[in-house]
A and B are shown apart, each in its own frame.
Chain A
Amino acid sequence: MRYGHRAALHPTDLDIAVGQSVAIVGHNGSGKSSLLRALCGLEPAARGEVILHAQACHHRRSDVEIAYVPQRSDARWDLSFAVGDVVAAGRRRPWWRRPGRADRAAVADALASVGLGDLAARPVTELSGGQAQRVLLARALIQRPDVMIMDEPFTGLDPSTVDTVVDLLTRLVDDGTSVCCALHELDIARAAFSRTVALADGTVVADGDTETVLGAVGVERIFTRRATT
């Protein structure tokens, strides 16, 4: 993947099994977000392809549902949209069709599953950071995803909200959803993800069992050195 003349992600082969939880770690600018966006089809790859359940999904016509949870700072939390309207945005429907009874029921279910069942009418401007992150999760859950792709969902969350999100991800993986999550928190990667992929300067430098990858002195050094500069 390239941004102008700069290669953000060098040729990378990555196989993710159904129901696997994968943590993507690496320093800022290592290519984590680029990898996730390529997986979602948001950024065109200079070459190569993304294959989901044996279907190429360049144009997002695959039957496999991918839910993308972007970084919290990517969304407009300064606008007074209702939480329910934001979560409903995750439902696929023709642009001309207004949300119906089934959509509203799905929104209520998704919000209840992240513990925000009573906040559907609240404006997003009045949410805490933890609630905002759970709203993004609810918007992803309403898609009933086969693959959940998350970009730094734990940044700025307090420990109890982290536990809530981790519990939710664990339930998803148990139900057969593949989870691929970029994060900086190595302790969360150790606790919640069975596999870890380490990136440095757009290249995969380690890939395997989380304990093995994060226990490798070299990988940890690359990550911490670049992350603190």
Chain B
Amino acid sequence: MTGWWSWAVEPFAFEFMQRALLATVTMCVAAPLCGIWALSRRLVYLTDAMSHGILAGVAGASIVGGSLLVGGLLAAVTMALFVSLLVVRVRIPEDGAIGVVGQGLFALGVIGVSLQSDPKALSHILFGNPLTVDQADVVIDVALAVVVVTAITVLRPVLVATTFDPLHARTVGLKVGLVDAALLVTLSLTMVTGLVTVGVLMAVTLVIAPAVTARLLGHSLNSMTAVAVASGVGSGVAGLLVSYHAGLPTGPTVALVAVLQVGFAAAWTRPAVGVRRVLLRDRGGHRDPAYSPTVLGYPN
């Protein structure tokens, strides 16, 4: 017990680990809250592409000596605008538009990063490193996370209305496009919040994976919210500790813990189905129609 206690607590005696913990937990609270809505509104692909597109803004800001956070945010908003333009005006399918704009900005970002003198810059932006965050980063992260949590909380009723039935929402005067835009900006802020801690590529994992875990384990919006935040914070703390003790990169370790939680949640909620299928297939006697090979789409 004492061994486990010292394993879990002693690392946080260091000041850099305290800052890392605060920055990571902040991100791990904000990201899953957004993730629930990204998942519900089928924005996962856009979120993933946005994480790539942000790189262009970050690289640009780095070159001109501006704020990386502002650069990343501008890139995310620009991406959302271009995607809307291609979908609405040029009538390109949405996934095609997201792919083109996201990858285009990512390519631009990689070129931008390659122009810089520090060869580790790309790796740092993509995968982050919470162990290097300073006081100013923590303050900005906390401020951005407060904005994200407040926005999601205030927007919750209109998000429910426009996600459940966007057509009806328009009849009661809600501007569905504006709600979409607000959610996209909030998602962009979340991604930028994760820039210095887990990096832009890993940030998207913290947006999506805890939300998927919550979808598997939660039975209502409130319980999904609680599970998502718990999963996110758990991933952040566990990832930090594992990376500290094992000497692994922190961002990917945090992301991997979040993904593993999805696996555990799936095994927890769906174990009976797999076992039942195997048993019925092996016996060959009584067959439940719901699990018959025909229903499952296999030939008889």
Contacts and interface: CB of A to CB of B under 8 A. Distances in A.
Nearest to B179: A95
Contacts of B171: 40-42, 60, 66-68
Interface in A46-99: 60, 66-68, 70, 74-76, 79-82, 85-86, 88-92, 95-96, 98-99
A85 B40 CA distance: 15
Nearest to B169: A89
A81 B157 contact: no
A118 B170 CA distance: 28
A75 B165 contact: yes
Q: Is the interface of A mostly helix, strand, loop or mixed?
A: loop
Contact residue range for chain B?
20 to 34
B240 to A, nearest CB: 31
Contact of A79 (B154, B156, B163, B179): B163
Contacts of B169: 89
Given A80-B219, A80-B221, A70 B157 contact: no
Contacts of A85: 157, 160, 221
Interface string B146-172: 000000001111101101110111111
A143 interface: yes
Contact of B172 (A79, A90, A96, A121): A90
Contacts of B154: 96, 98
B173 interface: yes
Contacts of A41: 171
Interface in B46-85: none
B94 to A, nearest CB: 17
A153 to B, nearest CB: 13
A67 to B, nearest CB: 8
A118 to B, nearest CB: 16
A143 B160 contact: no
A10 to B, nearest CB: 23
B174 interface: yes
A75 B219 contact: no
A143 B165 contact: no
Contacts of B167: 42, 68, 70, 74
A95 B158 CA distance: 6
Given A81-B221, A96-B154, A99-B157, A86 B164 contact: yes
Contacts of A143: 172
B224 A80 contact: yes
A95 B172 CA distance: 11
Contact of B161 (A60, A79, A89, A121): A89
A150 to B, nearest CB: 12
Given A80-B220, A82-B220, A92-B173, A70 B165 contact: yes
Nearest to B174: A95
Given A76-B163, A95-B174, A89 B224 contact: no
Nearest to A121: B220
A42 B172 CA distance: 11
Given A89-B157, A123-B219, A79 B164 contact: yes
Nearest to B170: A42
Central interface residue in B156, B171, B220, B223, by most chain A CB within 10 Å:
B171
A184 interface: no
Contacts of B40: 76, 79
A121 B223 CA distance: 12
Given A67-B171, A70-B165, A74-B167, 10 more contacts: A70-B167, A76-B163, A85-B157, A89-B161, A89-B164, A92-B172, A92-B173, A95-B157, A96-B154, A123-B220
21 contacts: A40-B171, A42-B167, A42-B170, A67-B171, A74-B165, A75-B165, A76-B40, A79-B163, A80-B218, A80-B219, A81-B160, A82-B220, A82-B222, A88-B157, A92-B173, A95-B157, A95-B179, A98-B154, A99-B157, A121-B220, A123-B220
